[in-house]
Amino acid sequence: MKLLKTTLFALLALVSVSCQSKTKTPTQVQSEPEVQAEKITKDELQEYETAYFASGCFWCVEAIFESVKGVKEAISGYAGGTEENPTYQQVSYGRTSHAEAVEVYYDPDKVSFFELVQVFFGSHDPTTLNRQGPDRGPQYRSIAFYENEEEKKIIEAYLKALEESGVYGEPIVTEIKPLTTFWDAEDYHQDYERKHPNDSYIRNVSIPRLNRFKENFKDYLKEDTH
């Protein structure tokens, strides 16, 4: 019950300010970083487990998961659709069936898949269909992906517990889908929140959402999270 209350508080904080900011558009994206960030190669991540989630703009979702202890890296990308090699221009304008998503590399000895599912549900509003905060369209829909039956059962059980608790007050519209292919987003999207702290969307949407998550999930945070 304590966990469900924590999730509720996080949701209420998200919903209370979700309409205060403008939607990002491809023309607003900055390609040149203001701040440099450490780059980790896929080869360095082979020893870690993976998890995949979609819960709105991947700039913020990536930053949220990268703040969680036990998470080595989160990569922005596209998943949930059928088109091959999708681009940001295509996905952001709703020209594919993909959603903006993140690939999370984590150490299961430090954080479990179940805890990552808690982070997922507690850091966004899973009751808004094809929308998250100011962003509209199926490319921003809520999806929890699974790679095996055990992960599927974990997601289904947690979602059922949330629904039975009535914690949200509205039906949960999160999709539970098997992961087929995750397509990495373009390089300039990686660590976008960290690299572009003065971007208007980052200041007005991503950072407030990230800070609300941090406030409600203090026990989950890395000691050196920014």
Question: Is-contact 210 53, C-beta < 8 A?
Answer: no
Pair of tokens at residue 43: 């080869």
Q: Which pLDDT score, from 0 to 100, does residue 40 have?
A: 79
State residue 133's pLDDT score. 92
- Mode of pairing for the β-strands spanning 175-178 and 142-146: parallel
* Any domain includes 215: yes
Q: Within a domain: residue 30?
A: no
Quote the number of domains for the chain. 1
Q: How many CB atoms lie within 10 A of CB 202?
A: 24
Task: Look at residue 102 and tell me if it is in a domain.
Answer: yes
Residue 193 domain-assigned? Answer: yes
36 located within any domain? no
pTM here? 0.86
Residue 179 lies in a domain: yes
- H helix runs in 88-185, sequence order: 88-92, 113-122, 149-165
| Residue the block writes with tokens 């681009």 | 87
Q: Find all residues with CB under 8 Å of 56, minimum gap 6, and list them.
A: 100, 124, 132, 133, 135, 140, 142
Q: Active-site residue among 4, 10, 51, 57?
A: 57
Q: By residue range, what is the domain housing residue 119?
A: 2-19+48-220
CATH of the domain at 161: 3.30.1060.10
- With contact defined as beta carbons under 8 Å apart, do 147 and 53 qualify? no
Instruction: Report the distance separating Cα 133 and Cα 125, nearest Å.
Output: 8
Continuous segment of H or E residues that includes residue 183: strand 183-184
Residue 178 lies in a domain: yes
The answer to whether residue 202 is domain-embedded is: yes
- Candidates 79, 71, 132, 84; CA nearest to 101 is 79
pLDDT in tens, the chain (226 residues): 455 555 555 444 444 333 333 456 654 566 566 665 667 787 889 999 999 999 999 999 999 999 999 999 999 999 999 999 999 999 999 999 999 999 999 999 999 999 999 999 999 999 999 999 999 999 999 999 999 999 999 999 999 999 999 999 999 999 999 999 999 999 999 999 999 999 999 999 999 999 999 999 999 999 887 6
Annotation says 19 is catalytic: no
Distance of CA 148 to the CA centre of its chain: 20
Label residue 2 exposed, middle or buried (CB < 10 Å: 0-12, 13-18, 19+): exposed
